[in-house]
Structure 1
Amino acid sequence: MTTTSPARRTERLARRLHLLMCRPEHFTVSYEINPWMDAATPVDPARALAQWERLRAELQRLGHEVDVVPAVPGLPDMVYAANGALVAAQGSVGVRFAHPERGGEAEAYARWLEEHGLGPVHRPAHVNEGEGDLLVVGEHLLGGYGFRTEPAAHREVEEVLGRPVTSLRLVDPRFYHLDTALTVLDDDPAHPDVAYFPGAFDEASRQVLQELFPQALRTDEDTARVLGMNAVSDGRHVVLSPRAQRYAQQLEQRGYVPVPVDLSELLRGGGGAKCCVLVLRR
């Protein structure tokens, strides 16, 4: 299926998002499960918290509703709320983490969703790290695999939600989740738009992306290596790393409004703006 070019949309329209976040009250880097983590270098907890608060304030300033799930002691990566679930219009799918260090996060997020009317939450049989690897783009549901989420999880999600998943293979360990290599810029079914770093995907996946989104914005190595792709878009505003300057210029040329937010302390755990938010769809 080929998607109509989104690059010709004359005006970018923001949509109000309902987001879930988790304060980095226990954030630290005490183990290493991705190339960004260095347990030998101390984390500045106050700086991490201040950066997170700035992110929340910016999202609220843009008109988005933000809920906060309580942080759990001993789960330092719980701040990366995107990995907590996939909440789609068809239902909620929980997570099963690849690394035991994060295992306790799964039930904490599932319980919160059910207690707030977003359940029942399906507890998966296969490794599936939520919106880190499962991204909604209009009528498409893109699924990343190669480092964390298992291909079998894509089939499981298809069965639970009753909608197909397009599998994309990640090949660079720096971009271990789909949301580190691809930004959903607009998930309006009439104007779906994405940006991605081609070098993060194998050749077959690049061909799939070309077919689905022929006018997609393609970024470069410099953007990707500062996790510039790990951004939050409401269809008009794109919250992203201030270090992704070339990406910001590309977005402006396409009619988007870049909103830079420094999350450099949280980047030390391997996450940026998108990692810190889970979209709650009803």
Structure 2
Amino acid sequence: MSETLAATTAPTTARRATPRSYLMCRPDFFTVSYRINPWMHPQQPTDTALAVRQWQSLYDTFIGLGHDVQLIDPIDGLPDMVFAANGGFVIDNVAYGANFTYAERQPEGPAYMQWFGEHGFRVAEPKNINEGEGDLMLVGDTILAGTGFRTATESHREVADLYSREVVSLTLVDPNFYHLDTAIAVLDPLTGDHDANIAYLPSAFDEASRGILAERYPNAIHVSPEDAAVLGLNSISDGLNVVIAKRATGFEASLRERGYNPIGVDLSELLLGGGGVKCCTLELRK
């Protein structure tokens, strides 16, 4: 049975939703035609129409929660462009662009940077390999930065200099969780560091990173491998409502115990490309 446990017993806190602004990309050209992560199997058929319907349900969920959702036009030949979170990292109206590891996704970086520039963001072109919010997460006043599979550690220093914020490097060790946003969910994004909280999969990290997370977030929810395997941690929280994978039932129960309102959605077709709720969603922090 799937089981999700809190690291410690934490009191239920009154939660408050805060409206957010997101960038998304319709999966009009979604398919799995190459393999750059363990989830992808090009020999298996994909249903683009189903992917669009599931994505639309996620979009409608965000709109129903009162969030602003902006759209970037999909580009034929870039099937992973739907995973908007990888397109950059935005704080204080400054957009740090993505520089993808694999050639198949490299054209996405300039496309997203062009969108940022056309929509009033100051664009910082990256000098190092990074995959945007896939490996960069704002938690309170701190940026958690992943490395190990995609994003270069040199980009962490670049981000620290750009935003003048503390950047904490974390090393991923499980190839199934190759981006930080598959192994950590940010639950209280807008609070100060002393109140911020997360959920995560301990086994996705090396020993040193597990120690950092345990010290910084003693009340974090530890999510089971079963819930993580359906990308349950690849979620979006507005401080109260947490949009998660529908099949992450253990994580859902733990969120309810903590006073959050989990909302399950089905993105099973996009999971064939290695993406979930967070992968489809880039936060625009102006």
Instruction: Write out aligned runs for 1:1-282 (5 A).
Output: 7-8=10-11, 10-89=13-92, 91-119=94-122, 121-190=123-192, 191-282=195-286
Counterpart code for 1:200: A
CA offset digits 1:91-119 (Å, max 9, x no partner): 22001000010000001101111111112
1:77 is displaced (CA, Å) by: 0.2
Q: Deviations over 1:132-165 (max 9, x none)?
A: 0000001110000000001111011111222121
One-letter code of the match for 1:72? I
Taking structure 1 as reference, are residues 54 and 6 closer, same or farther at Cα in structure 2, changes over 3 Å only?
farther
Hey, what's the Cα distance between the residues in 2 that align with 1:92 and 1:210?
A: 30
C-alpha separation in 1, matches of 2:91 and 2:246: 30
Structure 1 counterpart SS, 2:242: strand
Query: Could you tell me how far apart the structure 2 residues matched to 1:101 and 1:7 are?
Result: 44
Deviations 1:36-60 (A, max 9, x none): 0000011101100000000000010
Equivalent-residue separation in structure 2 for 1:185 and 1:7 (angstroms): 14
**Structure 1 76/99 Cα, relative in aligned 2: closer, same or farther at 3 Å?**
same
Q: 2:86 & 2:151 partners in 1: Cα distance?
A: 11
Shift of 1:7: 4.0
Alpha-carbon distance between aligned partners in 1 of 2:78 and 2:49, rounded to the nearest angstrom: 17
The 1-side partners of 2:208 and 2:265 are apart by 34
Identical aligned residues as a percent: 50
Displacement of 1:8: 3.6
- CA distance in structure 2 between the aligned counterparts of 1:94 and 1:187, rounded to whole angstroms: 21
Q: Is the 8 A contact 1:90 1:161 kept in 2?
A: no
In 1, distance between residues paired with 2:259 and 2:187? 11
State the TM-score, normalizing by the size of structure 1. Answer: 0.96
Q: Unpaired runs of 5+ in structure 1?
A: none
Does the 8 Å contact 1:72/1:78 carry over to 2?
yes
Q: How many angstroms apart in 1 are the aligned matches of 2:22 and 2:93?
A: 17
Count of matched residue pairs: 277
Per-residue deviation, 1:193: 1.1
Instruction: Give the drift of 1:22.
Output: 0.1
Separation in 2, partners of 1:269, 1:90: 30
Query: 1:62–1:31: structure 2 CA closer, same or farther, 3 Å change rule?
Result: same
Q: CA deviation digits over 1:203-262, x for unaligned, max 9?
A: 100000111111111111111111110011111011111110010001000111110100
Q: Which amino acid aligns with 2:136?
A: L
CA distance change for structure 1 residues 11 and 102 in 2, over 3 Å: closer, same or farther?
same
Query: Does the 8 Å CA contact 1:185/1:238 hold for their aligned counterparts?
Result: yes
Output the amino acid matched with 1:241: A
**Of 29-38 and 207-216, the range deviating more from structure 2:** 207-216
**Which of structure 1's runs of 4+ aligned residues deviate more than 2 A?**
5-10, 188-191
TM-score norm. by structure 2 comes to: 0.95
Contact 2:184–2:233 (Cα < 8 Å) also in 1 = yes
